[in-house]
Chain A
Amino acid sequence: MLNRLDDMLNFHAQALRIREQRQQVLASNIANADTPNYKARDLDFRAALQGALQGASASAAGALATTSPRHLEGPSGPASEPGLLYRTPAQGSVDGNTVNMDAERAAFADNAVHYEFDLTRITQQIKTMLAAIQG
Protein backbone atom coordinates (compact mmCIF):
# COMPACT_ATOMS: atom_id res chain seq x y z
CA MET A 1 0.00 0.00 0.00
CA LEU A 2 2.73 2.40 0.97
CA ASN A 3 4.49 1.36 -2.20
CA ARG A 4 1.49 2.61 -4.21
CA LEU A 5 1.55 5.94 -2.43
CA ASP A 6 5.22 6.21 -3.26
CA ASP A 7 4.62 5.36 -6.91
CA MET A 8 1.94 8.01 -7.12
CA LEU A 9 4.29 10.71 -5.90
CA ASN A 10 7.27 9.41 -7.81
CA PHE A 11 6.57 11.04 -11.16
CA HIS A 12 6.33 14.59 -9.88
CA ALA A 13 9.10 14.04 -7.37
CA GLN A 14 11.46 13.03 -10.18
CA ALA A 15 10.25 15.91 -12.34
CA LEU A 16 10.88 18.28 -9.45
CA ARG A 17 14.40 16.96 -9.02
CA ILE A 18 15.22 17.48 -12.70
CA ARG A 19 13.61 20.94 -12.73
CA GLU A 20 15.81 21.76 -9.77
CA GLN A 21 18.91 20.59 -11.58
CA ARG A 22 17.95 22.50 -14.72
CA GLN A 23 17.35 25.62 -12.66
CA GLN A 24 20.88 25.29 -11.37
CA VAL A 25 22.33 24.92 -14.86
CA LEU A 26 20.40 27.96 -16.12
CA ALA A 27 21.52 29.93 -13.07
CA SER A 28 25.11 29.09 -13.97
CA ASN A 29 24.51 30.37 -17.49
CA ILE A 30 23.14 33.70 -16.25
CA ALA A 31 25.92 34.00 -13.68
CA ASN A 32 28.53 33.47 -16.41
CA ALA A 33 27.01 35.89 -18.91
CA ASP A 34 30.27 37.90 -18.94
CA THR A 35 32.83 35.13 -18.56
CA PRO A 36 35.04 34.78 -21.65
CA ASN A 37 34.89 31.38 -23.37
CA TYR A 38 32.04 30.15 -21.19
CA LYS A 39 29.74 27.82 -23.15
CA ALA A 40 26.06 27.93 -22.17
CA ARG A 41 24.60 24.57 -21.22
CA ASP A 42 21.18 23.10 -20.76
CA LEU A 43 19.47 19.88 -19.80
CA ASP A 44 17.19 17.91 -22.12
CA PHE A 45 14.25 17.73 -19.72
CA ARG A 46 12.36 14.99 -21.58
CA ALA A 47 15.38 12.70 -21.87
CA ALA A 48 16.39 13.37 -18.27
CA LEU A 49 12.91 12.61 -16.92
CA GLN A 50 12.62 9.45 -18.98
CA GLY A 51 16.02 8.31 -17.74
CA ALA A 52 15.12 9.11 -14.15
CA LEU A 53 11.75 7.31 -14.32
CA GLN A 54 13.27 4.23 -15.91
CA GLY A 55 16.06 4.29 -13.38
CA ALA A 56 13.52 4.55 -10.57
CA SER A 57 11.18 1.82 -11.81
CA ALA A 58 13.91 -0.68 -12.69
CA SER A 59 17.17 0.29 -11.07
CA ALA A 60 18.97 -2.46 -12.96
CA ALA A 61 18.05 -1.04 -16.34
CA GLY A 62 21.65 -0.59 -17.37
CA ALA A 63 22.92 -3.70 -15.57
CA LEU A 64 24.66 -6.44 -17.50
CA ALA A 65 22.95 -9.81 -17.74
CA THR A 66 25.02 -12.47 -16.03
CA THR A 67 24.72 -16.19 -16.67
CA SER A 68 27.19 -17.26 -14.02
CA PRO A 69 27.59 -16.06 -10.44
CA ARG A 70 31.27 -15.52 -11.21
CA HIS A 71 30.58 -12.95 -13.90
CA LEU A 72 31.51 -9.45 -13.02
CA GLU A 73 28.70 -6.99 -12.69
CA GLY A 74 29.01 -3.79 -14.60
CA PRO A 75 28.32 -0.51 -12.93
CA SER A 76 24.59 -0.95 -12.36
CA GLY A 77 23.75 2.49 -11.06
CA PRO A 78 20.73 4.06 -12.68
CA ALA A 79 21.75 5.60 -15.95
CA SER A 80 19.64 8.58 -15.02
CA GLU A 81 22.28 11.27 -15.19
CA PRO A 82 22.14 12.35 -18.81
CA GLY A 83 24.97 14.53 -19.96
CA LEU A 84 24.53 18.23 -20.02
CA LEU A 85 24.22 19.54 -23.53
CA TYR A 86 25.78 22.65 -24.98
CA ARG A 87 23.58 25.30 -26.49
CA THR A 88 23.92 26.22 -30.14
CA PRO A 89 24.73 29.93 -30.13
CA ALA A 90 22.28 32.10 -32.02
CA GLN A 91 24.92 34.80 -32.49
CA GLY A 92 28.60 34.34 -31.99
CA SER A 93 30.59 36.73 -29.83
CA VAL A 94 34.22 37.80 -29.91
CA ASP A 95 35.06 36.50 -26.44
CA GLY A 96 33.76 32.99 -27.19
CA ASN A 97 30.87 33.26 -24.73
CA THR A 98 27.66 31.60 -25.95
CA VAL A 99 25.22 32.86 -23.30
CA ASN A 100 22.16 34.49 -24.83
CA MET A 101 20.82 36.44 -21.87
CA ASP A 102 17.24 36.76 -23.17
CA ALA A 103 16.91 33.06 -23.89
CA GLU A 104 18.43 32.17 -20.53
CA ARG A 105 16.17 34.52 -18.59
CA ALA A 106 13.12 33.17 -20.42
CA ALA A 107 14.16 29.58 -19.78
CA PHE A 108 14.83 30.40 -16.13
CA ALA A 109 11.36 31.91 -15.63
CA ASP A 110 9.74 29.05 -17.56
CA ASN A 111 11.55 26.48 -15.47
CA ALA A 112 10.58 28.26 -12.24
CA VAL A 113 6.90 28.17 -13.22
CA HIS A 114 7.13 24.47 -14.08
CA TYR A 115 8.81 23.84 -10.76
CA GLU A 116 5.93 25.54 -8.98
CA PHE A 117 3.49 23.50 -11.03
CA ASP A 118 5.13 20.27 -9.91
CA LEU A 119 5.00 21.45 -6.30
CA THR A 120 1.31 22.27 -6.64
CA ARG A 121 0.60 18.86 -8.18
CA ILE A 122 2.38 17.07 -5.34
CA THR A 123 0.44 19.10 -2.78
CA GLN A 124 -2.81 18.20 -4.53
CA GLN A 125 -1.88 14.53 -4.59
CA ILE A 126 -1.05 14.61 -0.89
CA LYS A 127 -4.42 16.22 -0.19
CA THR A 128 -6.18 13.58 -2.31
CA MET A 129 -4.43 10.82 -0.42
CA LEU A 130 -5.24 12.40 2.94
CA ALA A 131 -8.89 12.65 1.90
CA ALA A 132 -8.87 8.97 0.93
CA ILE A 133 -7.21 7.95 4.20
CA GLN A 134 -9.40 10.03 6.46
CA GLY A 135 -12.60 9.28 4.57
Chain B
Amino acid sequence: MSLSNIFNVAGSAMNAQAQRLNTVASNLANADSATSANGTPYKAKQVVFAATPMGEGGATGVNVAAVVDDPSPMKQVYDPKNPLADEKGYVTMPNVNVVEEMVNMISASRAYQSNVDMMNTTKTLLLKTLSLGQ
Protein backbone atom coordinates (compact mmCIF):
# COMPACT_ATOMS: atom_id res chain seq x y z
CA MET B 1 0.00 0.00 0.00
CA SER B 2 1.47 3.31 -1.12
CA LEU B 3 0.31 5.42 1.82
CA SER B 4 2.04 3.36 4.46
CA ASN B 5 5.16 3.48 2.31
CA ILE B 6 5.20 7.25 2.86
CA PHE B 7 6.10 6.48 6.47
CA ASN B 8 9.22 4.71 5.22
CA VAL B 9 10.11 7.58 2.89
CA ALA B 10 9.55 10.28 5.53
CA GLY B 11 11.26 8.15 8.15
CA SER B 12 14.37 7.74 6.01
CA ALA B 13 14.46 11.49 5.38
CA MET B 14 14.08 12.23 9.10
CA ASN B 15 16.86 9.81 9.87
CA ALA B 16 19.13 11.47 7.30
CA GLN B 17 18.31 14.99 8.54
CA ALA B 18 18.89 13.91 12.14
CA GLN B 19 22.31 12.63 11.16
CA ARG B 20 23.03 15.94 9.43
CA LEU B 21 21.99 17.77 12.59
CA ASN B 22 24.26 15.49 14.57
CA THR B 23 27.17 16.36 12.30
CA VAL B 24 26.43 20.07 12.65
CA ALA B 25 26.39 19.66 16.42
CA SER B 26 29.78 18.00 16.49
CA ASN B 27 31.22 20.59 14.09
CA LEU B 28 29.97 23.47 16.23
CA ALA B 29 31.10 21.81 19.43
CA ASN B 30 34.58 21.30 18.01
CA ALA B 31 34.91 24.66 16.30
CA ASP B 32 37.89 25.46 18.54
CA SER B 33 39.38 22.00 19.08
CA ALA B 34 42.96 22.65 18.01
CA THR B 35 44.05 19.12 18.81
CA SER B 36 42.47 15.69 19.17
CA ALA B 37 43.27 12.11 20.15
CA ASN B 38 45.57 11.66 17.15
CA GLY B 39 47.22 15.04 17.64
CA THR B 40 45.69 16.76 14.59
CA PRO B 41 43.14 19.56 14.72
CA TYR B 42 39.46 18.64 14.28
CA LYS B 43 38.26 18.57 10.67
CA ALA B 44 34.71 19.63 9.87
CA LYS B 45 32.47 16.76 8.75
CA GLN B 46 29.74 16.95 6.12
CA VAL B 47 27.06 14.38 5.28
CA VAL B 48 26.38 13.32 1.70
CA PHE B 49 22.73 12.52 0.96
CA ALA B 50 21.77 10.01 -1.69
CA ALA B 51 18.32 9.16 -3.04
CA THR B 52 17.40 5.48 -2.68
CA PRO B 53 14.42 3.77 -4.30
CA MET B 54 11.92 2.42 -1.76
CA GLY B 55 9.41 0.05 -3.26
CA GLU B 56 7.55 0.46 -6.54
CA GLY B 57 5.58 3.46 -7.76
CA GLY B 58 8.39 5.99 -7.68
CA ALA B 59 8.90 6.11 -3.92
CA THR B 60 12.36 7.47 -3.20
CA GLY B 61 13.82 7.76 0.27
CA VAL B 62 17.05 9.34 1.47
CA ASN B 63 20.07 7.74 3.00
CA VAL B 64 23.40 9.11 4.12
CA ALA B 65 25.86 7.80 1.55
CA ALA B 66 28.95 9.03 3.38
CA VAL B 67 30.22 11.38 6.04
CA VAL B 68 33.18 13.17 4.48
CA ASP B 69 35.81 15.53 5.87
CA ASP B 70 35.30 19.10 4.76
CA PRO B 71 37.97 19.80 2.09
CA SER B 72 38.23 23.51 2.88
CA PRO B 73 41.65 24.70 4.19
CA MET B 74 42.36 24.77 7.92
CA LYS B 75 42.31 28.10 9.71
CA GLN B 76 45.68 29.56 10.71
CA VAL B 77 45.54 31.67 13.85
CA TYR B 78 48.52 33.72 15.06
CA ASP B 79 48.96 32.88 18.74
CA PRO B 80 52.67 32.48 19.65
CA LYS B 81 51.92 31.77 23.35
CA ASN B 82 49.93 28.65 22.47
CA PRO B 83 51.96 25.43 23.03
CA LEU B 84 50.60 24.11 19.71
CA ALA B 85 51.99 27.06 17.74
CA ASP B 86 54.57 26.34 15.02
CA GLU B 87 57.94 28.13 14.79
CA LYS B 88 56.29 31.17 13.15
CA GLY B 89 53.70 31.40 15.91
CA TYR B 90 50.68 30.11 13.96
CA VAL B 91 48.23 27.55 15.38
CA THR B 92 46.24 25.37 12.97
CA MET B 93 42.58 25.55 13.96
CA PRO B 94 39.64 23.49 12.70
CA ASN B 95 38.11 24.47 9.33
CA VAL B 96 34.62 24.81 10.83
CA ASN B 97 32.69 27.68 9.31
CA VAL B 98 30.31 28.61 12.12
CA VAL B 99 27.97 30.66 9.92
CA GLU B 100 27.68 27.84 7.41
CA GLU B 101 26.98 25.36 10.19
CA MET B 102 24.20 27.53 11.64
CA VAL B 103 22.57 27.75 8.21
CA ASN B 104 22.95 24.00 7.86
CA MET B 105 21.32 23.53 11.25
CA ILE B 106 18.27 25.65 10.40
CA SER B 107 17.91 23.98 7.02
CA ALA B 108 18.09 20.51 8.59
CA SER B 109 15.57 21.30 11.30
CA ARG B 110 13.11 22.80 8.78
CA ALA B 111 13.45 19.77 6.53
CA TYR B 112 12.87 17.54 9.54
CA GLN B 113 9.72 19.48 10.39
CA SER B 114 8.42 19.14 6.84
CA ASN B 115 8.79 15.40 7.08
CA VAL B 116 6.99 15.30 10.42
CA ASP B 117 4.13 17.29 8.86
CA MET B 118 4.06 14.87 5.97
CA MET B 119 3.80 11.93 8.36
CA ASN B 120 0.95 13.58 10.25
CA THR B 121 -1.00 14.21 7.04
CA THR B 122 -0.43 10.63 5.93
CA LYS B 123 -1.56 9.32 9.30
CA THR B 124 -4.79 11.32 9.05
CA LEU B 125 -5.42 9.98 5.56
CA LEU B 126 -4.74 6.40 6.62
CA LEU B 127 -7.04 6.65 9.62
CA LYS B 128 -9.78 8.08 7.41
CA THR B 129 -9.24 5.23 4.96
CA LEU B 130 -9.63 2.73 7.78
CA SER B 131 -12.99 4.21 8.70
CA LEU B 132 -14.20 4.05 5.09
CA GLY B 133 -17.93 3.37 4.79
CA GLN B 134 -18.81 4.18 8.38
Contact flag A34-B133 (CB < 8 Å), given A28-B60, A116-B128: no
Closest Cβ of chain A to B100, distance in Å, is: 14
Query: In the assembled complex, which residues on chain B have CB atoms less than 8 Å from the CB atom of A112?
Result: 121, 124-125
The majority secondary structure among interface residues of chain A is helix
Bound Cα distance from A23 to B13, whole angstroms: 16
A101 on the B face (CB < 8 A): yes
Are B60 and A38 in touch, CB under 8 angstroms? yes
Candidates B10, B17, B107, B132; contact of A123 at CB < 8 Å: B132
Assess the B115–A30 pair: CB atoms within 8 A.
yes
**B1 and A32 contact, CB distance less than 8 A:** no
Contact of B13 with A116 in the complex, beta carbons under 8 Å: no
Check A109 against B121 for contact (C-beta < 8 Å): yes
- Known contacts A116-B128, A122-B132, A123-B134; is-contact A28 B121 (Cβ 8 Å): no
Which residues from 8 to 55 on chain A have a C-beta closer than 8 Å to any C-beta of chain B?
A: 20-21, 23-25, 27-28, 30-36, 38, 41, 43
- Consensus secondary structure, chain B interface: helix
**Does B125 contact A31, Cβ atoms closer than 8 Å?**
no
Q: How far is the CB of A16 from chain B (nearest CB, A)?
A: 8
B62 touches A35 (CB 8 A): yes
Once the chains are docked, how many angstroms separate the CA of A24 from the CA of B124?
15
* Contact segment of B33-41, B50-58, B66-74, B88-96: B50-58
A84 closest partner in B (C-beta): B58
Contacts of B17 in A (CB 8 A): 34
Q: Are B118 and A30 in contact (CB under 8 A)?
A: yes
Chain B residues touching A, range: 35 or more
Q: Which residue of B lies closest to A39 (CB)?
A: B51
A: contact size bracket = 20 to 34
Binding site for A on B (CB under 8 A): 1-3, 5-6, 9-10, 12-13, 17, 20, 48-51, 54, 57-62, 107-108, 111, 114-115, 118, 121-122, 124-125, 128-129, 132-134
Sampled A-B contacts (21; CB under 8 Å): A20-B2, A21-B2, A23-B125, A24-B6, A27-B9, A28-B9, A30-B10, A30-B114, A30-B118, A31-B9, A31-B13, A31-B115, A32-B13, A32-B51, A34-B17, A35-B51, A36-B48, A36-B49, A38-B60, A112-B124, A123-B133
Residues of A within 8 A of B (CB): 20-21, 23-25, 27-28, 30-36, 38, 41, 43, 84, 101, 105, 108-109, 112, 115-116, 119, 122-123, 126
Beyond A32-B49, A34-B17, 13 additional contacts (C-beta under 8 Å) are A24-B6, A24-B59, A25-B58, A27-B10, A27-B122, A28-B60, A31-B12, A34-B49, A34-B62, A38-B60, A112-B124, A116-B125, A126-B132
